Amino acid sequence: MTLSDTQPTAQPAQPELHFGASLVLGAAEVAAEGRWLEELGYEYLSAGEHFMRGNPPGPTHAALPLLAAAAGATDNIRLLSSVLLVPFYHPLTLAKLTATLDIASGGRLTLGIGVGGEFPVEFEAAGLDVRQRGRRTNECLALLRRLWQEPEVSYTGRHFQLENVSINPPPTQQPHPPVWVAGRREAAMRRAVRYGDGWFPYFYNPQRYRDSVAQITGLAQEAGRDLAGFQWAYFPYIAIYPTEQEAAEVAATALGGRYLYGGDFLNIVRNYCLLGTPAQCIQRLQEYIDAGARHIIFSVACPREDRVRHIETIAAEIIPHFRG
């Protein structure tokens, strides 16, 4: 018998994982919620935005003011926009706002960005062409990185013109805060390769997440982009209930008014969400981790009265499994 015959088989090590949660208590309670999430051990708190979600509009807030309020109440938790709608910002304005927040928070900002488009009415209200949102975003992101890093920027483009423009002081994080590009389609993947420091999709099943990692890796190779340090994030919706059926029904109700994807919405929710008991959610989440996700930002899909229970259950039963 050789020594190798007597050794137990080594189990593959779990990759380094990071966990966060979207804000659930409302804008008036953001400072207290930031402290609560930090005490529970979350590494990210996240806030999204819309400017006019439908007509009449559903309740929404702007992401950066919420993150700023949370920054002042916390010490270590990272501040993530999930997501900030870039087409609504001039690059100088966005560079200044984000640099200020990064400095004020001690270098804790992660800028999750998207192009929007689910609600064309908000683009119309702002005098923007929804069909130009992708090109406008790309141009803004290219300028944002320059404004964060260069002492002076001049540029003439389709959407923006800058002459001898600078911000002072620059962000605390160098060369700049990480930018996670959200989305679902190839255009967003190309944007992540060209302008991003991370990939942050939503409403993906594990196989589609795995495919997106492979596609982004291939696009980066074609572009000569080194993905060392690139952050692979995911934004799963989660509903924790005694059965998968109950969880699916609750999640479908919670999300049905927010996302208008055609077909049987209950099956759509089953395909994309973490549903059921904590053990069932762990099993499904492991599939995303196996597909490449490393930064997990939970968004609860449940009624308001169940949100606190969800956040506490994730912190007490799901995250510790992966810390294990």
Domain that holds residue 130: 16-177
Instruction: Tell whether 243 and 165 lie within a shared domain.
Output: no
Tell which residue, 20, 27, 137, 150, has the closest CA to residue 90.
Answer: 137
Q: Is residue 20 part of a domain?
A: yes
Q: Which amino acid, residue 112?
A: G
**Is the same domain home to 168 and 28?**
yes
Provide the pLDDT for residue 8.
Answer: 45
Asked whether residue 173 is domain-assigned, the answer is: yes
**252 and 122 within one domain:** no
Same domain for 168 and 240? no
Domain boundary among 162, 177, 192: 177
Is the residue at 185 inside a domain? no
Which of these three, 177, 206, 225, is where a domain ends? 177
Judge if 30 and 121 occupy the same domain. Answer: yes
Q: Same domain, yes or no, for 170 and 23? A: yes
Last residue of a domain, one of 177, 210, 245: 177
pLDDT digits over 11-29, tens only? 456 799 999 999 999 999 9
The number of domains in the chain is 2
Residue 271 inside a domain? The answer is: yes
Asked if residue 56 has a cis previous peptide bond (ω within 30° of 0), the answer is: yes
Residues 240 and 130 in one domain: no
SS percent in the chain: helix, strand, coil, step 5: 50, 20, 35
Are residues 54 and 163 part of one domain? Answer: yes
Domain assignment present for residue 146? The answer is yes
Q: Are residues 140 and 37 in the same domain?
A: yes
Return the closest-CA partner of residue 282 out of 251, 253, 254, 323: 323
The rounded percent of the chain whose pLDDT value lies above 70 is: 94
Q: How far apart are the C-alpha atoms of 12 and 187, rounded to whole Å?
A: 34
Question: Same structural domain for residues 153 and 246?
Answer: no
Residue 56 counted as domain residue: yes
CATH of the domain at 159: 3.20.20.30
Tens-digit pLDDT profile for residues 89-105: 999 999 999 999 999 99
Question: What does the CA dihedral 126, 90, 202, 25 come to, rounded to 10 degrees?
Answer: -70
Same domain? 35 vs 146: yes
Residues 126, 85: contact at Cβ < 8 Å?
A: no
- In this prediction, residue 296 carries a pLDDT of 98
Same domain for 169 and 240? no
7 domain residue, yes or no = no
pLDDT at 257: 58
pLDDT in 10s for each residue of the chain, 324 residues: 444 444 444 445 679 999 999 999 999 999 999 999 999 999 999 999 999 998 999 999 999 999 999 999 999 999 999 999 999 999 999 999 999 999 999 999 999 999 999 999 999 999 999 999 999 999 999 999 999 999 999 999 999 999 999 999 999 999 999 999 999 999 999 999 999 999 999 999 999 999 999 999 999 999 999 999 999 999 999 999 999 999 999 999 999 756 545 557 888 899 999 999 999 999 999 999 999 999 999 999 999 999 999 999 999 999 999 997
Tell me the pairing of strands 161-165 and 153-156.
antiparallel
Does any domain span residue 65?
yes
